[in-house]
Structure formats: C-alpha cells, structure tokens
Chain A
Amino acid sequence: MDFYWEDYLSVYMFAALAFGLFSGFPVAFVVGGIGLAFGFIGAAVDYFSLIEFYNILPRIWGGAAANPVLVAVPCFIFMGTMLERSGVANDLLDILEILLRRVPGGLALSVTVMGTIMAATTGIIGASVVMMTLMALPTMLRQRYQKELATGTLAASATLGILIPPSIMLVIMADLLAISVGNLFLGAILPGLLLSGLYFAYILAVSALKPHWAPSLSDDVGPDTHAGMALMLLKGFVPPVFLITLVLGSIFAGWATPTEAAGVGGFGSLVLAVVNRKLTWSVVKDVCERTALTSGMIFFIFMGATAFSYVFRSLGGEDIIVEFIEHLGFEAWGLLFVLMGTIFILGFFFDWIEITLIVLPVFTPIVELMDFGSHVEGRDVIYWFAILVAVNLQTSFLTPPFGFALFYLKGVAPNSVKIQNIYRGIIPFVALQVMGLVAVIIWPQITLWLPSIVLD
C-alpha cells in the first residue's frame, strides 16, 4: 500500500489541535483557526474545495443559533447564577447545616445535599466549584474539619452538576447525539442520586469512625423554637426544591419542552429573588452579564468546533477513525472501554464543553455501530452511552494530578490548604465515582428504568 501524506491530513489536524490547545490560547480560536487552516492546506493539495467553506456558516447557524433546543443553555445559566446571587443557595446551605447539626459530619453532608439540589444550576465546572467552595469552605475550616475531607466533599459535590438534570451539558449532548433532552434528563436522575448517595454514605461512615475529622456544630446554632425552625426550613428549603421540581416536573408532565422549562426556571429564579428581597438593579445587571459571558464562551467554541469538524470530515477524518477502530478488531465491549478511556484522559485537560463539542461528533458514528446484544438494545445504547460519558467525565475532572475541578478549588481556597491536601482528600471520592460508573455499566437499568416507566 502506498503512503500518501495527504491522506492523513485529518490526523495532522488533531495533532495541531492538541498543540494549539496546550499553548493556552483560548480554545474557541484554536479550534476554529486550525479547522480553517487545514481547509486551506487541503485546498492546496486538492483534498478540499474552498467552495465548501460556504457550507460552514449555515451549519454554525443551524447548529448554534437557529436551534430551539439550545435556547435552554442561556436560560439555565441565568437560573443558576440568579439562585446564587439572590442568596437562595446560601439559605439552603444554612438550613441544611442546622438540620444536620447533630449528625456526624453534618456540614459535609449538607454540602453533598446542597450539591445534589443545586447541581441543577450552573453546570460549568469552574463556576460551580468556585461557588460551592466560597460558600462552604470557610465555615468548614472554622469548624476545624480535616482539610482533606472538606475539599474532597466540595469538589465531588460541586461537579455533580454536570450529571444531575437540568444540566446544560446533557442539553448539548442530547442535541449533538440527536436524542431527546427530556429522556436524557430522566436517565441521568438515578445515576446522579446513586453517586450522591455513595458520597453521603462515605461521609457518614468516616465521620462516625473519626469524629475529629468532622467536628459537629454546637447545638446552640440556629433558632431555639420550633416555630423559628419551621420558618427557617420554609425559607431555606422550599424555594430551591420548588424551583427544581417545577423545571423537571414541567418537562416530564409534558407541559413544556426542556427549552421552555429552562425559561420557566429562569423566571422562577427571578421570583425567588424578589421573595428574598435581593432583586436589585445591580444584581440583575450582574446576572445578565455573567449569563452573556458564559453563553458567548460556550457558543464561540460551538462555532469553532463546527468549522473544525466540517473540515475534519471533509478531509476523510471520520473514515480514518472508523477504519482504525475496525482495524483494532474490538468487539462492542472493548470499544466501549477504548472510548471511555479516551474520554477519561481528555477530561484531565479539557472541560466538558470542548470534549462534547469536538470529540462526541467523532465518536457518534462508532457508538451507533456498537452492539451489546441483550445487555442494552437499540436506541437505548445512545442514552446509556451519554450517561456513561457524563459520569466518566465527572470522575476525570476529580482525578489527580490533572483533575481540573481540583485546580479551581485550589485557586479559591486559602493558602493554608495545600494541593496535597486536596489530592489526598479526593481519592476516596474518585473510588466512589468508579464504583458508580461500574454500576451503571453492569446495570444499564439504573439509567434506562426511569425513562421506560415514565414513557409508558
């Protein structure tokens, strides 16, 4: 077989991409710039026609702009940011602490529950880690929590946001994989609860065995009377739970599409801010601007990735990957591990935004070919795969030495918290993540059961 270097342009393209990304220049420009550059290189050796560039903008347009599904993204970002800025998130943590003050490890447990409930809200790893750390870490350190336990709990609970619906990562994944957002949300609920349940059990066990790692709050914290307690419960607990129920409920009840539910959630967060008397001009302005910044960031990568994957495909990149995979001769299971391993390693360096937008389109044709016999059948494979990717990515974000949820945590934490504390603290949680991942692989019903009963 003759070797023509031009045949492998798409391979060089990925190599150039890796090089460009590691330079630290913004991902959006690297992806788009390299995509177009290889279009020109391809055109110079007659492997690409410049006229094809005319196809790119309509694709960007149809994929990112004129796409009703993705309207959910800015709305969910708005909702999350508003819940944070209006103090709703903070009130929730307060009440959880008081409720759990007599339980060993109460504060850490509060963080887990809070992560599970508020997971809904931002879905951008960096932002949620920063938000949770700011809210809980000072209190935990003041309580003389062991630094390892405190930071491990924080990082794990904050990253749950990409998995537990309504997560914007799931919205974008569903859009790219051409599956239903509502069903994917349903499929993610039990795996998400499973993980937070595992954290909960671990923290409970550790704090019972080593009480000095997680000193309890004194009993005199919080209101003395039952009425005061009830009022606090009402104030802290009801609003966020109501909002999340409203958003998910309206999707599952069929009142609203996921996009519309996101808008309803955004509206709900405004109402809660009014109730909390935090809705000032400066808060609204700040929330709007942060929402715009995050949307701009995500969709600029979306635009670049569209250009990149168009050129990549046109240069025959997809064929090379499929050929390579066939050449490996793996069966479905072997393939699944190869894909999962790749995503796990990518998760060390990249946020889910880059991974889903650049890598998922490349993997999709392979996933559609996989046959797991009676273990998972037909369309279910894609839903199951999407959830596996989500849990896998979350694990990857937590795994030292690169896990970048850990970098964000370190970035916000006081200097007395060393990166070694964070690394040591996260290890048990990574083990729990792996348990959760293995469980979802062995028992796909964890993902598929809820959608199947709701749809019947």
Chain B
Amino acid sequence: MRSLLQVANQLERFPQMFGKVGAWLILPLIFIIMFDVVTRKFTVVQQAIMNSPLYVILSPTKLQEMEWHLHAALFLLALGYAYTVNAHVRVDLMREKMSDRGQAWVELMGIVFLMIPYILVVLYYGWTFFYQAWESNEASDAMTGLSHRWVIKSFVLIGLFLALLAGISTLLRQVVFLFGPEELRPEVKMNMLTSAEAEHLPKIADDDEGNDIAKLEGHYDDSEIVRGG
C-alpha cells in the first residue's frame, strides 16, 4: 500500500510539472497582444515591419493565431495540474455532509466510471483529430497564417494524457485511503475538503479584534493582503 502511495506521488509530478511550466505561457500571450495592438496604432512601425524580413514571423495574422495557440496550450497543460490541487469546481452541497470515507468512495467511483472513460474516449477520437492534421500537414486557412497545425493539436492529447495521470494518481490515493492500513490514511492528502475550504484558501483567525495584523491559519503565503490597522 505504501508503494501505491509512492506511485501516486510520482504520477502526480508530471501534470504538476507541465502545468506549472505551461502557466508561464500567459506572459508571451500578453506581450504578443500588446505588440500587435501597439504596432497597429503606429502604422509607421507596422509598415517598417511589413517591408522587412521580420514580416515572415511578425505578420498580424501570425501574431493573432499565435495568441489562441498560446491560450490553448496554456489551458490544456493545466487540466491535470488543476485536478492535483483540487482546483476543479465541485458542487459542495451534499459533499460537505458526507464522511471522509463517503467522499473517497464518490471520488473513486467518479474517476472509474466518469473521468477515466471520458478522457479515454476523447483521447481515442482525438488521436484521429491529431493524425489527420499531421498527415495532411494542415496549416492555417489564411495565406500568411501559421503552418504545422499538428503541433498545437498535439497539445489536446498531451493535456488529456496529463489529466489521465492526475486521475490515476488520485484514484490510487482513494484506494489506499479506503482499503489500506489505518496508519497510512493521514498521508493520503487528496483533499478531503469542500472547495470552499480547499487547501489554497486561507481563513481569518478568531479574536482578531485588537490585533494589528490578522493571523491566518493555513499556508496562504501573503500576509500582506490582510489589512493591518
């Protein structure tokens, strides 16, 4: 059982790693939009680019396609990562009344009967989706658009595969929690919590009145957003 838990921890590392690296894509996305908007306002700059060799990589069509390419890669890489930190929304109404075992059972059944089949089916059809783009060397419909559409389409497969890993990792944890020895249970960290009390949320401590700075429980790292007197 302990080794199952270790496998779960190992599996979880991949979606987290890819998700955290992918998260940085928001920065180039913002810079590209900014560049596009500014050069459009200053037609001189745009003319200069159009007449230069840079046009090959900096045409407005390419930039605008690059924007949604980055957006797609960003969220696809985060699908699994979000599950590993319990960031996917749940309806908590019944859940918060359930026992820990009840919640673990729901999670186990959900992963086996809904999540994994769903991801496998979409992956299966997604393979064709990707393969067609690869084989026909699909490019943008626009003349000056980006080529190699299969690259971004492959992110659908990568993203879903990472989500599958996150699902299997969580599944193993539920198995350890439900069927494993008692002493391992505290180590099963897949949040037996409702979203409103999820790990990344802080809580204002009681008896704050009179204190200058509210003390926060939990590991919310920025005490600066809590207002001092």
**What residues make up the interface of A, taking CB atoms closer than 8 Å to B?**
20-30, 32-37, 53-54, 56-58, 60-61, 64-68, 70-71, 73-75, 78, 84-85, 87, 89-90, 93-94, 126, 130-131, 133-139, 141-142, 144, 250, 255-256, 259-260, 262-264, 266-267, 270, 284-286, 288-289, 291-301, 303-304, 307, 349-351, 353-354, 402, 404, 407-408, 410-416
Contacts and interface: CB of A to CB of B under 8 A. Distances in A.
Interface string B19-42: 110111011011111101100010
Nearest to B30: A266
A36 B208 contact: no
Interface in B57-108: 64, 67-68, 71-72, 74-79, 81-83, 85, 87-95, 98, 103, 106-107
A178 B64 CA distance: 20
B67 A71 contact: yes
Contacts of B221: 286
Interface stretch (B5-13, B48-56, B194-202): B194-202
Interface in B99-126: 103, 106-107, 109-111, 113-115, 117-118, 121-122, 125-126
A141 B118 contact: no
Contacts of B107: 25
Nearest to A407: B196
A interface: dominant SS: helix
Contacts of B93: 22, 24, 349, 402
B196 A292 contact: no
- 4 interchain residue pairs of minimum CB distance: A263-B33, A33-B114, A24-B95, A296-B78
B68 A75 contact: no
Interface residues of B, number: 84
A377 to B, nearest CB: 34
B186 interface: no
A289 B77 CA distance: 11
B114 A65 contact: no
A410 B203 CA distance: 9
A411 B227 contact: no
Contact of A29 (B24, B115, B205, B214): B115
Contacts of B114: 20, 25, 29-30, 32-34, 37
Contacts of B95: 23-24
Nearest to A30: B114
A255 B222 contact: no
Given A259-B33, A296-B79, A408-B196, 12 more contacts: A24-B94, A27-B91, A28-B89, A74-B74, A136-B227, A142-B208, A266-B26, A292-B75, A300-B88, A404-B196, A412-B203, A412-B204
B72 A65 contact: yes
Contact of A293 (B78, B117, B118): B78
Given A136-B227, A296-B19, A130 B201 contact: yes
B94 to A, nearest CB: 5
B229 interface: yes
Given A56-B122, A255-B37, A260-B33, A71 B19 contact: no
Interface of B: 19-20, 22-24, 26-27, 29-34, 36-37, 41, 64, 67-68, 71-72, 74-79, 81-83, 85, 87-95, 98, 103, 106-107, 109-111, 113-115, 117-118, 121-122, 125-126, 128-129, 152-153, 156, 163, 194-197, 201-210, 214, 221-222, 224-227, 229
Given A54-B125, A255-B37, A351 B118 contact: no
Contacts of B209: 141-142, 144
5 contacts: A27-B88, A36-B118, A255-B37, A296-B87, A299-B76
A292 B26 contact: yes
B204 A297 contact: no
Contact of A301 (B89, B156, B196, B226): B89
Given A20-B114, A23-B95, A412-B203, A296 B75 contact: yes
A410 B79 CA distance: 28
A270 B30 contact: yes
A25 B110 contact: yes
Nearest to A39: B121
B68 A411 contact: no
B26 A75 contact: yes
B204 A414 contact: yes
Contacts of A133: 204
A7 B178 CA distance: 40
Identify which of A65, A264, A307 gathers the most chain B CB atoms within 10 Å of its CB: A65
Contact of B34 (A126, A263, A295, A404): A263
A393 B121 CA distance: 34
Contacts of A34: 114
Contacts of A54: 125, 128
A249 to B, nearest CB: 13
B74 A304 contact: no
Contacts of A67: 68
B85 A293 contact: yes
A415 to B, nearest CB: 5
A14 to B, nearest CB: 15
